[in-house]
Amino acid sequence: MQKEDGLQEKLKDWQSFHDELFKESDRACVVLSAAYLDESLRVLLTNYFVDDNKAVKNFIGGPESLTAPLGSFASRITAAYCLGLIDKIQYNDLHTIRKIRNLFAHGLQGLSFEDPKVTRECKKLRTHLFAPFQKEIRSEFQLSVVILATDIDVYAKETLKSRCTSPDYYGDLLKRINEGPIGPASL
């Protein structure tokens, strides 16, 4: 029952994000999309790394942390790719979305998807090509985000099954010492 509740909660979160994404301004759409993908990558990496919450949080950071080694969107994208958790197209599209987010977030003037710089970046996105053709740049961007977010959320769940484990070298050595005589030949 708890598993179904978790799924229902995730579906509500996803529906809420989806609804907000499609009704917001271009700027809010882009910033919310990047924030959702960044958080999804944080969860994916957390699920992959060893089951040591304190160490992992220091390495990845929380949702608001930029001081951890993997505390930024860019570093999380690169780490997920280098660890084999996302493919090259996803890697490139996530970095493109990050660049689009930076255009919107750092610009003092209101940008839109019709701005030539934004359009040029959006045309680099490839994830949406695996779904029905979209005619508008914003629709292509949104579809890419939805596909990427869905994929990463699925990967995060699957990754828990193959989570990294830390070796127990000293524990193994102590166990062998306690089991009997130890010498260079037994190491």
CATH number of the domain enclosing 120: 1.20.120.330
**Structural domain of residue 154, as residue ranges?**
2-186
Overall number of domains in the chain: 1
- In this prediction the pTM is 0.82
Q: Would you state the structure tokens that stand for residue 91, as one six-digit string?
A: 């890697």
* 69 residue type, one letter: P
Judge contact between 33 and 105, C-beta under 8 A.
Answer: no
Task: Give how far the C-alpha of residue 167 lies from the chain's centroid of Cα atoms, to the nearest Å.
Answer: 26
Predicted pLDDT at 182: 57
Residues of the chain with pLDDT under 50: 1
Query: 97 burial class (0-12, 13-18, 19+ CB within 10 angstroms)?
Result: buried
DSSP code of 52?
Answer: -
Give the per-residue pLDDT at 1.
Answer: 45
Q: In sequence order, what E strands does the chain have?
A: none
How far is residue 56's CA from residue 62's CA, in Å, rounded to a whole number?
A: 10
User: What does the pLDDT read at residue 167?
Assistant: 81
